[in-house]
Amino acid sequence: MTEPNDARVGLYIDFDNIVISRYQQLHGRNAFQRDGIRNFDRTNREADPEVAAKLTAATVDFNAIIDFAASFGTLVVNRAYADWSVPVNASYQRQLMSRAVDLTQLFTTTTRGTKNGADIRLAVDVVEDLFRLPDLTHVIIVAGDSDYIALAQKSKRLGRFVVGIGVAGSTSTSLAAACDEFEDYDSLPGIEAAAAAPAAADTAAKKTAAPTDSQPDPAPARRLTTVPMFSHTGQAGFEEPEPADDVDPGVLATELLVRALQIGHAKGDADEWLNTGTVKNQMRRMDPAFNEKPLGFRSFTDFLSSHGDLVELDDDGPQRLIRLRPGADARR
């Protein structure tokens, strides 16, 4: 990663995409439209308190997103695209303006809102900035829409480091692959508590289930933070995210680790020890969305230690080394 004092970062937020995706991640497919959130005003005395509570639970912490973006370098472009006259969007204005975010207004011209307008305006602005600001080193796109694949590819071809941030269940795997790095919103520093709090996602399901006295209600929190981006389905748009595959995310991560080690061994001796940092970089190049934290591990070392049946670790020297055990199989 470029050092912060050398890097200059452009942050571009498709506001509707991330807000709608977060709401539907917690409350179900099409919940944003079903609950009428676009025109919902929680300050209205007649507002449904249950919907207001669901909306509060799905509040996006843009401070965490901006802080993460700033870790790459100095933010020289900081824009969010939306129709700010909509009540649900207007409620974020103070939070965003306090972080010097340029609120780009998109006026509603159709009954479907401003989604396509945001896609096009954001993409046009990024391309313009790439040529207008030749010292821009990083482009960070906050969205999971597959429409941004071409933008990510073009930015990379023009020599920029591209980072994507999206919500689990509403992000195209192709977009993640088009970026140099892709992060799940739930895995950003400071989001753990916010992701663990809401239980409204299971409320509707519980209403249809028969009550039992013998079994306590399961805690839904960790489900929201243990779905890595590399397990998502393909072209899922943010209005109607596709359900995640049934494959265990841990199995996918294990297979990725083994492939990365096999590639490292193929370039040298089959029994050669590899630097763990090099292995992780290889895994991120193979799948920019890989992150061990949503899988429940505090560090990459903890992730590796949990795979003792597949890998050997050497911590004796100045560097932490790893190699694949002979005959190790990714499918345990």
Q: SS3 for 82?
A: strand
For the chain, residues classed under CATH 3.30.420.610 are 249-324
What confidence tens digit (pLDDT) does each residue in 75-94 have? 999 999 999 999 999 999 99
Q: What is the number of other CB atoms lying within 10 angstroms of the CB of residue 7?
A: 19
Q: Is 142 exposed, middle or buried (0-12, 13-18, 19+ CB in 10 A)?
A: buried
Q: Give CA–CA dist 191/65, Å, rounded.
A: 9
Considering only CA atoms, give the Rg of the chain. Answer: 21
**CATH class label, 8-199:** alpha beta
Sign of the Cα pseudo-torsion (59, 119, 162, 178, in order): positive
Coil, strand or helix: which one is 178? helix
What is the length of the chain?
332
What pLDDT, on the 0 to 100 scale, is given for residue 187? 86
Question: What's the pLDDT at 219?
Answer: 34
- What is the model's pLDDT at position 195? 43
| Structural fold of domain 249-324 | Nucleotidyltransferase; domain 5 (3.30.420)
Q: Taking a C-beta distance cutoff of 8 angstroms, is the pair 187, 225 a contact? A: yes
Is 250 in a helix, a strand, or coil? helix
User: Tokens at residue 184, please?
Assistant: 């799940």
CATH 3.40.50.1010 intervals, the chain: 8-199
Nearest to 276 by CA among 326, 228, 311: 311
Q: What is the mean pLDDT of each run of 10 residues along the chain (332 residues)?
A: 68 96 93 91 87 93 91 92 93 92 85 67 96 96 94 96 93 92 88 47 42 40 34 37 61 89 76 87 85 90 92 87 76 44
- Could you give the residue ranges of the DSSP H alpha helices within 13-98? 15-27, 31-34, 49-57, 62-70, 87-90, 93-97
Question: pLDDT digit string (tens) for 206-254?
Answer: 444 444 444 444 333 333 333 333 433 333 334 434 444 567 888 889 9
Reduce the DSSP state of residue 75 to 3 states and report it: strand
pLDDT of amino acid 157 = 96
Separation of alpha carbons 298 and 321, rounded Å: 19
Average per-residue pLDDT for the chain: 80
